[in-house]
């Protein structure tokens, strides 16, 4: 007898990337069959936002977020607050970003990255939509800016694909933010990262694929896709010492709390 897989959510993927151009309907179908009830596809450049939006409009389980990735801010026109506020009026636009700081590849643009981050934070504050943060090799500035801005006015936030320091995790959690587990957390050599996650409250954890990147075992090194959320979530369940259905239910409830617009859209639908 076939059993229905536990329902879970891929809070961050990139379905507009060329990797999925040939088989996107099959990708979405496989995700649904694996129990993935919702997927948030992320716009990394506002110039591609119409394509990202169209995917969310095409597939019922798909929502979208919009922003300018920190590695792109020097090559793209700076986003404006009006742009983000206008895009946020779409019923399936549920998050601001991804934005953030990346000093690993693009440290030379750190000042414009910081300006862009603060602008996206203001958009999150005004819309009530959660901020989606990319952080790499910029922990001190990230913690400082998120804290400064939160003191100026509260906003929700998820640290996407979290793989930074314990100190940044603690700073984010102290602000009421969420940490998202990607396939990295399931890698054999990621015990230190799993230990950081284990110190967080379960009610602040999301799961994601960041597809097409960072496929968890047993697919590591291959194209990632939303259906593989389940493999990361199984690793997450072990970290928190709960069974997979309980972890799936907890992270889904966390998603609904943070991404409340997606929950409201589903209720209306």
pLDDT, one tens digit per residue, over 217-230 is: 999 999 999 999 99
Phi-psi region of 128 (alpha: psi -120 to 50; beta: other; left: phi over 0): left
Paired tokens of 119: 């602008």
Q: Could you tell me the CA-to-CA distances from 17 to 40, 122, 136, 259, 262 in Å, in that order?
A: 13, 27, 21, 23, 22
pLDDT digits (tens, 9 = 90+) for 54-81: 999 999 999 999 999 999 999 999 999 9
DSSP letter at 259 equals S
Question: 3 falls in which pLDDT band (50, 70, 90)?
Answer: confident
Mean pLDDT of 237-242: 98
Instruction: Round to whole Å and give the CA distance between 100 and 73.
Output: 10
100 has a pLDDT exceeding 60: yes
Mean pLDDT of 23-39: 97
CB-based contact 200:172 (threshold 8 Å)? no
User: Domain segments of the chain: what residues?
Assistant: 8-264
| Mean pLDDT, the chain, whole residue set | 96
Question: 48 falls in which pLDDT band (50, 70, 90)?
Answer: very high
Radius of gyration of the chain (CA): 17
Percent of the chain at pLDDT exceeding 90:
96
107 has a pLDDT exceeding 70: yes
pLDDT digits (tens, 9 = 90+) for 110-124: 999 999 999 999 999
Residue with tokens 């329902």: 7
8-264 to CATH, choices 1.10.10.10, 3.20.20.210, 3.40.50.1400, 3.20.20.140: 3.20.20.140
pLDDT digits (tens, 9 = 90+) for 80-89: 999 999 999 9
1 has a pLDDT exceeding 90: no
CB-based contact 45:75 (threshold 8 Å)? no
Question: 90 falls in which pLDDT band (50, 70, 90)?
Answer: very high
Mean pLDDT of 190-216: 98
Scored b (16 or more CB within 10 A) or e, 161-193 reads bbbbeeebbebbbebebbbbbbbbbbbeebeeb
CB-based contact 106:70 (threshold 8 Å)? yes
Mean pLDDT of 22-42: 97
Residue 251: the pLDDT is: 98
Mean pLDDT of 237-251: 97
pLDDT digits (tens, 9 = 90+) for 174-201: 999 999 999 999 999 999 999 999 999 9
Dihedral sign (CA 252, 255, 260, 261): negative
Alpha helices in the chain, H assignment, sequence order: 24-33, 49-58, 81-87, 103-106, 110-127, 139-152, 166-174, 191-198, 229-240, 244-258, 260-268
Q: How, if at all, do strands 131-136 and 157-159 pair?
A: parallel
């Amino acid at each position: 007898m076939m059993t229905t897989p536990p329902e879970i959510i891929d809070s961050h993927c990139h379905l507009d990337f060329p990797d999925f151009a040939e088989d996107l309907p099959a990708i979405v179908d496989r995700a649904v069959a694996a129990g993935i009830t919702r997927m948030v596809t992320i716009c990394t450049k506002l110039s591609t936002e119409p394509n990202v939006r169209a995917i969310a409009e095409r597939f019922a389980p798909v929502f979208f977020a919009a922003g300018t990735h920190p590695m792109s801010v020097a090559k793209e026109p700076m986003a404006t607050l009006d742009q983000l506020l206008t895009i946020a009026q779409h019923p399936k636009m549920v998050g601001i970003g991804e934005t953030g700081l990346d000093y690993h590849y693009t440290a030379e643009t750190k000042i414009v990255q910081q300006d862009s981050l603060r602008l996206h934070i203001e958009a999150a504050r005004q819309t009530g939509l959660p901020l989606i943060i990319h952080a790499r090799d910029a922990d001190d500035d990230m913690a400082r800016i998120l804290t400064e801005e939160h003191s100026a006015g509260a906003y929700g936030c998820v640290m996407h694909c979290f793989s930074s320091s314990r100190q940044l995790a603690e700073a984010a959690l102290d602000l009421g933010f969420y940490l998202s587990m990607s396939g990295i957390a399931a890698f054999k050599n990621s015990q230190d990262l799993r230990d950081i996650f284990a110190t967080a409250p379960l009610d602040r954890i999301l799961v994601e694929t960041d597809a097409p990147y960072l496929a968890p075992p047993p697919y590591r090194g291959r194209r990632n896709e939303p259906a593989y959320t389940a493999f990361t979530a199984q690793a997450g369940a072990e970290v928190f010492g709960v069974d997979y259905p309980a972890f799936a239910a907890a992270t889904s409830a966390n998603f609904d709390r943070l991404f409340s617009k997606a929950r409201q859209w589903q209720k209306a639908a």
